[in-house]
Amino acid sequence: MEDLVCLTELEEPPSSGFSTVNLDSTQTVASRSQRRHLTEPTVIDQRSGNVIPIRSLSISKQTSLINNRTNNFRLQYFPTASEEDWNDWRWQLRHRIKTLVELERVISLSQAERDAFQMHAGPLPVGITPYYASLIHQKDPNHPIRRMVVMSKDEFRMSPGEADDPLGEDGHSPVPGLVHRYPDRVLFLVTGFCSVYCRYCTRSRLVGKSNHESKFNMQQWEAALQYIERTPVVRDVLLSGGDPLTLSNDKLEWLLRRLRKIPHVEIIRIGSKVPVVLPQRITPALTNMLKKYHPLWMSLHFSHPEEITPETTRACRMLAEAAIPLGSQTVLLKGINDSVQTMKKLYQGLLKILVKPYYLYQCDPVSGSAQFRTTVEKGLEIIEGLRGHTSGYAVPHYVIDAPGGGGKIPILPNYVVSHDKSDWTLRNYEHRSFHYPNPIEQPDNVLQTVEGGEPCM
């Protein structure tokens, strides 16, 4: 580990000031000529002097990666924390920023943010890992990452159409903590605990309650598992919460083992923001455990390109190396990521770290969410600005999770100009029209004859 120095983290460093990454902050920085041709995260092997892409390192050599900005934050605000402490996910959880005093120590709060903090009561408290706090702009209240996790007074304002349970999940729960809305799959809410609390959370009514530190409820797990066991149509189980990756390896493995014993459960999915806000949690011990329970998929929750750091890059790479397919579910958030430019940067960045942009969600009308919700037209404009303009893999499904429990409904720009039985007129991403000759369906005895009455081969 001492032999490696990281030169760059990303092709285009985020605007928040990342430039270089030290795997060991005491090591030397590379020369300009060494940096010039780098287009991906790399390190220098101090013994050989070779420049090595992070992707070609063995995972064990990456165990103490801290990017420069984060390392400066560590030294300033957590000076007694060693690199080992900092890279220990349990240390990160123990030192989450939860009180006004702790928050004011690391951020210059505006009066409105301070007032909001003091007004708050009930679930969805403030909770920010020191790592994620290091990505926040300390002076700008409009900084995208800051807005996602620091309270504002707007979250106490109810707007028309908003509700505490906008998706009607509670009405689709045959047993507490399990939502069975779609025919063949269930949502299993395994904990009410998250390492970071997002201010726009759809489950703000449930997560981070004052007794949330218990993290899980065995009776509830048993009831949910028994429901899945006696319901053979359930072939797909999504573990969510709260955040399942905040559970210990033992508890998570207990759950996965039980699910894998159910013959009709074909796939297991885990929904998690942990690789984004607590990437230290992704350890070889975790990935070695997870890969015993394939097919296992993971839905991550990236929201902004500044979240793609060397730490999250490494976490996603480790998960991918454990053969876990990775998708990202991004919520469209006003003033945070609602532009083509931001989304393109996010989605192209995700592909580089082996994460497929899966869903772009229109923000659910949860109570107090008006500050985050932008129009459906804006979402369509973003999809229109991506489709054809960048790799198809970088274009997610834009969906509205129908209020009241209607499920996810895809929304697409209109690419069909007109059509009749034999012709579809379509427009492409450059607004040019093209015709597709539609095969005309005819009865077999008409279609499959040629002159002479012999059937076509």
Angle between helices 249-260 and 218-229 (to 10 degrees): 20
**Catalytic-residue membership of 363:** no
Residues ≥6 apart with Cβ < 8 Å to 408: 359, 397, 399, 400, 401, 402
- The answer to whether 66 contacts ligand SF4 (rule: CB under 6 A) is no
**In whole angstroms, what separates CA 454 from the centre of its chain?**
59
- The answer to whether 197 contacts ligand SF4 (rule: CB under 6 A) is yes
Q: Residue 10: which of 73, 69, 58 has the closest Cα?
A: 69
Site for ligand SF4 in 220-249 (CB under 6 A): 241-243
**Catalytic-residue membership of 6:** no
**Catalytic-residue membership of 203:** yes
Size of the site for ligand SF4 (CB under 6 A): 11
For residue 153, the one-letter residue type is: K
- The answer to whether 201 contacts ligand SF4 (rule: CB under 6 A) is yes
Residue 25 CB, nearest distance to ligand SF4 (Å)?
A: 29
User: Which is nearer to ligand SF4, 13 or 327 (by Cβ)?
Assistant: 327
- The answer to whether 187 contacts ligand SF4 (rule: CB under 6 A) is no
Alpha carbons 194 and 15: distance in angstroms, whole number? 27
How many degrees, rounded to 5, is the angle at CA 198 between CA 196 and CA 203? 105
For residue 304, the one-letter residue type is: H
Q: Are 293 and 262 in contact (CB under 8 A)?
A: no
Site for ligand SF4 in 353-382 (CB under 6 A): none
N residues, the chain: 457
**Catalytic-residue membership of 198:** yes
List 4, 65, 151, 194, residue binding ligand SF4 (CB under 6 A): 194
Largest CA distance in the chain: 92
**Catalytic-residue membership of 181:** yes
Binding mask 140-179 for ligand SF4 (x = CB under 6 A): ----------------------------------------
**Catalytic-residue membership of 352:** no
Q: Are 273 and 243 in contact (CB under 8 A)?
A: yes
Alpha carbons 327 and 394: distance in angstroms, whole number? 11
**Catalytic-residue membership of 456:** no
Q: Six-digit token pair at 272? A: 């998690």
User: Which is nearer to ligand SF4, 185 or 212 (by Cβ)?
Assistant: 212
Among residues 182, 236, 334, 352, the one annotated as catalytic is: 182
User: Which is nearer to ligand SF4, 131 or 197 (by Cβ)?
Assistant: 197
Among residues 316, 364, 373, 398, the one annotated as catalytic is: 364
Q: Three-state SS for 248? A: coil
Site for ligand SF4 in 258-287 (CB under 6 A): 273
Considering only the stretches 38-46, 64-72, 197-205, 320-328, report the one whose residues sit in contact with ligand SF4 under the rule CB under 6 A.
197-205
Q: Residue 249: which of 203, 282, 212, 207 has the closest Cα?
A: 282
User: Which is nearer to ligand SF4, 66 or 270 (by Cβ)?
Assistant: 270
User: Which is nearer to ligand SF4, 64 or 303 (by Cβ)?
Assistant: 303
For residue 215, the one-letter residue type is: K
Over the range 393-432, which residues count as b (16 or more CB within 10 Å of their CB) and which as e? ebbbebbbbebebeebeeeeeeeeeeeeeeebeeeeeeee
Q: Are 295 and 334 in contact (CB under 8 A)?
A: no
Q: Which residues pair with 267 in a beta bridge?
A: 236
Residue 406 CB, nearest distance to ligand SF4 (Å)?
A: 20
- The answer to whether 198 contacts ligand SF4 (rule: CB under 6 A) is yes
Alpha carbons 12 and 16: distance in angstroms, whole number? 11
Residue 324 CB, nearest distance to ligand SF4 (Å)?
A: 18
**In whole angstroms, what separates CA 124 from the centre of its chain?**
18
**Catalytic-residue membership of 427:** no
Residue 348 CB, nearest distance to ligand SF4 (Å)?
A: 23
**Catalytic-residue membership of 364:** yes
Residue 198 CB, nearest distance to ligand SF4 (Å)?
A: 3
Site for ligand SF4 in 291-320 (CB under 6 A): 301
Please give the positions annotated as active site: 181-182, 185, 194, 198, 201, 203, 364, 401, 408
Q: List residues binding ligand SF4 (CB under 6 A).
A: 194, 197-198, 201, 203, 207, 241-243, 273, 301
